[in-house]
A and B are shown apart, each in its own frame.
Chain A
Amino acid sequence: ETGVTQSPTHLIKTRGQQVTLRCSSQSGHNTVSWYQQALGQGPQFIFQYYREEENGRGNFPPRFSGLQFPNYSSELNVNALELDDSALYLCASSLSGRAFHEQYFGPGTRLTVT
Chain B
Amino acid sequence: AQTVTQSQPEMSVQEAETVTLSCTYDTSESDYYLFWYKQPPSRQMILVIRQEAYKQQNATENRFSVNFQKAAKSFSLKISDSQLGDAAMYFCAYRRGNDYKLSFGAGTTVTVRA
**A interface residues with partner B (beta carbon < 8 Å):** 33, 35, 40-45, 48, 50, 55-56, 58, 88, 90, 92, 97-100, 102-103, 105-108, 110
A99: chain B residues at CB < 8 Å are 32-33, 95-99
9 nearest interchain CB pairs? Answer: A42-B104, A105-B45, A56-B100, A45-B101, A48-B100, A107-B44, A97-B100, A99-B95, A108-B43
CB distance from A44 to the nearest CB of B (A): 8
Could you tell me if A48 and B47 are in contact, using CB atoms closer than 8 angstroms? no
A107/B43 contact (C-beta < 8 A), A42-B104, A42-B105, A102-B50 known: yes
Could you tell me if B101 and A58 are in contact, using CB atoms closer than 8 angstroms? yes
Cα A26 to Cα B95 with chains together (Å): 21
How many A-B contacts if CB must be within 8 Å? 61
A58: chain B residues at CB < 8 Å are 101
CB distance from A59 to the nearest CB of B (A): 10
CB distance from A60 to the nearest CB of B (A): 12
B37: chain A residues at CB < 8 Å are 105
A41: chain B residues at CB < 8 Å are 106-107
Asked whether any CB of chain A lies closer than 8 Å to the CB of B11, the reply is: no
**Chain B 79-106: CB-based contact to A (< 8 A → 1; otherwise 0):** 0000000000001010111111111111
CB distance from A63 to the nearest CB of B (A): 20
Q: Which residue of A lies closest to B91 (CB)?
A: A42
Q: Which residue of A lies closest to B33 (CB)?
A: A99
User: Among the listed A33, A43, A88, which residue makes an inter-chain contact with B104, where contact means beta carbons less than 8 Å apart?
Assistant: A43
Asked whether any CB of chain A lies closer than 8 Å to the CB of B30, the reply is: no
Asked whether any CB of chain A lies closer than 8 Å to the CB of B28, the reply is: no
B33: chain A residues at CB < 8 Å are 99-100
A90: chain B residues at CB < 8 Å are 45
A44: chain B residues at CB < 8 Å are 104
CB distance from B55 to the nearest CB of A (A): 12
